Amino acid sequence: MRQRVLVASNRGPVSFSLGADGTLAGRRGGGGLIAGMTSGLAAVAAQAEVTWICAALSDGDRIAARSPRAASADGGDPGEVRVRMLDIPPETFDRAYNQVANSILWFTHHLLFDTPNQPRFGREFRLDWEAYLAYNQEFADALAHEAAAGPPGRIRVLVQDYHLSLVPRLLREKLDGGGGDLGIAHFSHTPWAPADYYRLLPRQVGQALLDGILAADHVGFHARCWADAFLDCCEAILGAQVSRAGNGDAAGRVSHRGHVTGVAVHPLGVDVPALRARAQADDVRAHVGALRRAAGGKKLIVRIDRTELSKNIVRGLAAYRELLATRPQWHGQVVHLAFAYPSRSALPQYRAYTDQMALIAQQITEEFRTPDWNPLVLEVKDDYPRSLAACALADVLLVNPIRDGMNLVAQEGPVLSERGCALILSREAGAAATLGDDALLINPYDVSETAEAMHQALAMPDAERRRRSAALAATAAAWPPARWLGDQLASLDG
């Protein structure tokens, strides 16, 4: 009998838009979670029957959600995966996703609050929290329905990220006493906050989130530091009994309400053959040609991000300004390509941050541009082929997040690089644990240190740059998505 795997995540592997003629067009969803899960599932699809439950995010998605055949038949490229979109009431979705998940939980785990002003947990937040509970319940109900609908046998449920922290507990409660042979894993693609910062959350909320996740059998993170912070919170906030493991994938175990949960580290790297094949496609090659002509032989410092506060784009631009101000030898010799694709524009903080990026970019251009040198190209646009092309041409890749669960760009850049690229990497990215030896590590808050790393990276001898880049690519290849997913599935059976 084929194994059954149920995946639950807010964003799904496909999103739909409604054409002028009323037809739905599907396209692959974006982000690291989708890339890792889609590629990982492709490796297990032959032996498993997979259903992926996600929220309808766009108007097109909501239409597709009401006609499930559309969701799986025209779903871009979900392979063997059956996609089920949940048409959650818009107000519930808005409060759960924009207010609780992205404005509170994301900010908590990435340490983003301007604490003299935020967060403020008043009556409005209590309504948001009710919606978060209802949204999690919709996922738990859908998972329980799927579990009951199929043939008997072992079912493995993979719950993704901070949006769905309550799902493991709600699913267990729903199936209490029945529901067959169910193994539940929860994976966080984000960092986890230190216990003292996590305490900003209202006590019952902080406890409910941990209690929700701990109903899973297996809990995963991209890096040991996030797993350790989670264990700290289990002890400090819940008073749960925690035992810690030494080095290796296992981080520890938590006993809570009579249930033992394993906590482990599963770094997510890159499907190197698939990524390199994609980079050979005509659309990417056309961008490589165009960017190469535009660069005119100058060195390229490249960054690729979402317009995301935690990605620290404004400090990255400030560091580039400091480089040009303090190291005039690079004038006319370097161009910074800062490509960002729009994200979470429903939130005012994100719109303001995008404006800040544009402002500092304009200042840099006005300060340093000459008739034959444009030092900076900042573009806010979703252009995946162009991003791959920029990675292929980068001499220096800048990845300087305030905090990041893993960061795939830091790994994809060296894999795609044609001449070898020097990686400037924040010590606060999960990827620093695997890539740290071959990157130039920086403190993301230290603009001067980042500027100095830019200088070092630009001046790095060719042979050293190529050697480091090859080592970075080899590390990224050592953690393919198939391994990331396979290890989690194996942990549920172990």
Residues that bind ligand F6P (CB under 6 A): 11, 31-33, 161, 189-190, 343-344, 405
Judged by DSSP in three states, 261 sits in: strand
* Smallest distance from ligand F6P to CB 405, Å: 5
Return the number of the residue (54 or 472) whose C-beta is nearest ligand F6P: 54
Closer to ligand F6P by CB, 162 or 368: give it.
Answer: 162
Q: How far is the CB of 96 from ligand F6P (least distance, A)?
A: 12
Which residue has the CB atom at the shortest distance from ligand F6P?
Answer: 31
For 64, 215, 418, the CA distances from 179, given in Å and listed in that order, are 28, 15, 52
Residue closer to ligand F6P by CB (options 291, 485) is 485
Least distance from ligand F6P to the Cβ atom of residue 406, Å: 8
Longest dimension (CA), the chain: 74
Reduce the DSSP state of residue 361 to 3 states and report it.
Answer: helix
- Smallest gap from residue 479 Cβ to ligand F6P (A): 16
What is residue 249's three-state secondary structure? coil
Question: What is the separation of C-alpha 189 from the centre of its chain, rounded to a whole number of angstroms?
Answer: 6
Q: Looking at beta carbons only, is 57 or 182 nearer to ligand F6P?
A: 57
Instruction: Say which residues have a Cβ less than 8 Å from residue 359's Cβ, sequence separation at least 6.
Output: none
- C-beta closer to ligand F6P: residue 307 or 469: 307
Please name the residue ranges forming H helices in 327-420: 348-368, 384-393, 409-416
CB of 148 to ligand F6P, least distance (A): 28
Please identify, using beta-carbon distances, which residue of 97 and 330 lies nearer to ligand F6P.
97
**Coil, helix or strand for 180?**
coil
Task: State in angstroms the smallest separation of the CB of 397 from ligand F6P.
Answer: 17
Residue with tokens 């739905």: 24
8 A C-beta contact, residue 338 and residue 308:
no
Q: Which is nearer to ligand F6P, 172 or 344 (CB)?
A: 344
Asked if residues 227 and 221 have their Cβ atoms less than 8 Å apart, the reply is: yes
Q: How far is CA 66 from the centre of its chain?
A: 28
R_g (Cα) of the chain, nearest Å: 23
CB of 32 to ligand F6P, least distance (A): 4
Go through 224-252 and write b for each residue having 16 or more CB atoms within 10 A of its CB, e for each that does not: bbbbbbbbbbbebbbebebeebeeeeebb
Closer to ligand F6P by Cβ: residue 34 or 376? 34
Contact in structure between 458 and 395 (CB atoms under 8 Å): yes
Q: How many CA atoms lie within 13 A of 108 on its CB side?
A: 27
Q: Which is nearer to ligand F6P, 97 or 198 (CB)?
A: 97
Of 35 and 360, the one with the shorter C-beta distance to ligand F6P is 35
Query: Is the distance from CB of 6 to CB of 181 less than 8 angstroms?
Result: no
Q: Least separation, in Å, of the C-beta of 364 and ligand F6P?
A: 27
CA dihedral 148, 149, 150, 156 (to 10 degrees): -50
Q: Identify which of residues 344 and 468 has a Cβ nearer to ligand F6P in the complex.
A: 344
Contact 13, 81 (CB under 8 A): yes
Helix axes 409-416, 272-279, angle to 10 degrees: 60
Residue among 226, 228, 234, 229 nearest 209 (CA): 234
Q: Which is nearer to ligand F6P, 165 or 343 (CB)?
A: 343
Q: How far is the CB of 106 from ligand F6P (least distance, A)?
A: 8
CA distance 301 to 324: 13
Least separation in angstroms between CB 199 and ligand F6P: 22
Cβ at position 276, least distance to ligand F6P in Å: 21
Report DSSP state, residue 28: E
CB of 75 to ligand F6P, least distance (A): 17
In sequence order, what are the residues at sequence separation of 6 or more whose Cβ sits closer than 8 angstroms to the Cβ of residue 319?
Answer: 400, 447, 448, 450, 451, 454
Altogether, the residues listed in the chain come to a count of 494
